[in-house]
Chains A and B, each alone.
Chain A
Amino acid sequence: MHYQTESWGSYLPVARPVGDPVERIERMAAESAVVIFSVSTCCMCHAVKSLFCGMGVNPTVHELDHDPRGKELEKALARLSGAPPSAAVPVVFIGGKLVGAMDRVMASHINGTLVPLLKEAGALWL
């Protein structure tokens, strides 16, 4: 029952049992500068991966269909991002903070907030 406050961003620092999906997500999100939760067969996930790779970012991708407890992670992600459970992925975290699903990522890229965020997280150097 430990928690970290520094990289939680928008989350309340509430103590949770280890193994709780949200806690796992948060832990995984904190591990790298750019974390993408995906499903290997999902084409939209492929699109978001292409986007970051095209920008020169090297994201950490968690394929939930390869995770034994992927289903519950998907459900938790859907709740976090506000998406319907059928379209839970892709979900992007930058610097441990939740950015959102594809539409939010696109919007932030167009209005020019994505690149500064990436630079701040240390994912981009140019």
Chain B
Amino acid sequence: MASQRIGEIGLSETGPSTHHIPYSVYHGINNPSTFINQEGSAFDFGELEEAIVLQGANLRNDEAKARRPAATLDMFPSWPIRLQHTPRGSSKSGGESTDSGSGVNTNTLSSSIAEAQREAESPVSAKASSSLDHRKLQKPMDMTASDTSPLPSPSQSASKAPQDKRKGGSTSEKQLDAKTLRRLAQNREAARKSRLRKKAYVQQLESSRIKLTQLEQDLHRARSQGFFMGACGGSNISSGAAIFDMEYARWLEDDHRHMLELRTGLQAHLTDDDLRVIVDGYISHYDEIFRLKGVAAKSDVFHLITGVWTTPAERCFLWMGGFRPSELIKILITQLDPLTEQQFMGICSLQHSSQQAEEALSQGLEQLQQSLVDTVAGGPGIEGMQQMAVALGKLTNLEGFVRQADNLRQQTLHHLRRILTVRQAARCFLVIGEYYGRLRALSSLWASRPRENMMNDDSSRQTSADLQIVQATQNHFSNF
């Protein structure tokens, strides 16, 4: 009742359209049932639409006031469906065919109202019959109103047929229709809004994706250039060397990962099959660095052979651009107990043959060096550009030696894998990896040690501690 009065007041004072909004909101507050399941934003707009539409319809028809039914929660005064739909008839006939379910994305109020109108009409006709039964009893007053509705039927086109159906269905659904209208309009609005939001989100995602790929490309480019600049500190560095340095850095990261895998694999006491996979993976990891070095040797053999790509401590013990295989075997032979007699013999002969091979390659390199010295020193009969050409020709042999040395290293690792069991091989590679890791750590410790003239009491204590560690490790390494 109170709501009716409010509605009346609203209607009686209705004049300029500006009043519509507060009344509709007020109506909305007083009619929670239809709005409980609505979203906040849709709520306002749908409600607004509905109010404007219905209020607008009300303005044109004072009869509606008279026929307002009693005690229901219906906030909007019901009026004959005929009258309800009359003002929309014009827009409806045009719009009937384009059901608003097509997802029209327009944001203007008028078009959405039109949409709501069209929307409201079509489902209402579907719902009319279903809601007929349970609404009839509730709204006896509507029946009386509905009786009068068929009378003034304006001469409309066949598009009024749905209206007639609804009329025939009954004006007992007047209230229902309004409610349904409202609800459906709001549903429609909510759906439209969520479609809009989804579209905006997807567009955002797409643009972010493009940005991401661009960033990745920039990063990759910058990284390669960064190494180009950073690796040499200003001096000239060939692109082949820069590329190798970058790939070596990545290989070191992979190495760290492999080491973790080996360590956890051994500690977890995996089956031999599982451990074999890890061990073979480590072998492939080493095969990879030898392949990379082969490529780099073609473009810049000096970079490899002088060990610029390694840390200082590693460089100190460098042999022909890498580790010395017999040295490695020496490290392992003490850490690989227990070995069977056969395994021990196998490892000893491996050490022996690798030593012989190293010696042979070293002698070959020595002869190359001597020959180069002779060429560069020059002498009668060979001078100037010819001298340089000969020297260049001799230098090309360097690549062959580095390749053979890497081949030796690779063969040694593979043969080691053949001699040892899976667990032994896993331990062996762990030892190798840890050894080189410590060698690299040694280099950084050495580089960061405080110099004599900067020492004070505190730092001297720290330095001596550091130096003790270094000393201990140095003694360990001095065996080689």
Contacts and interface: CB of A to CB of B under 8 A. Distances in A.
Interface stretch (A14-22, A59-67, A73-81, A108-116): A108-116
A55 interface: yes
B365 A51 contact: no
A36 to B, nearest CB: 12
A107 B367 contact: no
Contacts of B353: 109-110, 112, 114-115
Given A43-B368, A43-B371, A109 B357 contact: yes
Contacts of A106: 357, 404, 407-408, 411
B360 A110 contact: no
Contacts of A25: none
Interface of A: 41-44, 46-48, 50-51, 54-55, 87, 102-103, 106-107, 109-112, 114-115
A43 B364 contact: yes
B interface bracket (residues with beta carbon within 8 Å of A): 20 to 34
B415 interface: yes
Contacts of A102: 400, 404
B420 to A, nearest CB: 14
A120 to B, nearest CB: 17
Given A43-B368, A44-B397, A107-B407, 10 more contacts: A43-B365, A44-B400, A46-B364, A47-B364, A47-B404, A51-B356, A54-B359, A106-B404, A110-B415, A112-B346
Contacts of A42: 397
Interface of B: 346, 349-350, 353-354, 356-357, 359-361, 363-365, 367-368, 371, 397, 400-401, 403-404, 407-408, 411-412, 414-415, 418
Nearest to B394: A43
11 contacts: A41-B371, A43-B371, A46-B367, A47-B363, A48-B364, A51-B360, A54-B359, A106-B411, A107-B411, A110-B357, A111-B414
Contacts of B360: 47-48, 50-51, 54
B263 to A, nearest CB: 28
B283 to A, nearest CB: 15
B404 A103 contact: yes
Contacts, number: 74
B404 A44 contact: yes
Given A107-B411, A110-B411, A111-B415, A47 B361 contact: yes
Contacts of A51: 356-357, 359-360
4 nearest CB pairs, A to B: A47-B364, A51-B360, A43-B368, A110-B411
A125 B363 CA distance: 25
Chain B CB within 10 Å, residue with most, of A48, A87, A106, A112: A106
A114 B356 CA distance: 12
Nearest to B359: A54
B226 to A, nearest CB: 36
Given A43-B365, A47-B364, A87 B400 contact: yes
A99 B187 CA distance: 85
A43 B397 contact: yes
Given A44-B364, A111-B411, A111-B415, A54 B356 contact: yes
Contacts of A44: 364, 397, 400-401, 404
Nearest to B398: A43
Nearest to B365: A43
Chain B CB within 10 Å, residue with most, of A42, A102, A107, A110: A110
A84 B397 CA distance: 14
Nearest to A110: B411
A47 B366 CA distance: 9
Given A54-B356, A55-B356, A110 B350 contact: yes
A109 B363 contact: no
A88 B444 CA distance: 44
Nearest to A53: B360
B305 to A, nearest CB: 14
Nearest to A103: B407
Nearest to A104: B407
A110 B408 contact: yes
Contacts of A111: 411, 414-415, 418
Contact of B367 (A43, A54, A55): A43
A87 B403 CA distance: 13
A110 B354 contact: yes
Given A44-B400, A54-B359, A110 B412 contact: yes
Contacts of B361: 47
A51 B362 CA distance: 10
A42 B404 CA distance: 15
Chain A CB within 10 Å, residue with most, of B346, B364, B403, B404: B364
A47 B367 CA distance: 9
Contacts of A47: 360-361, 363-365, 367, 401, 404
A74 B404 CA distance: 21
A125 B214 CA distance: 68
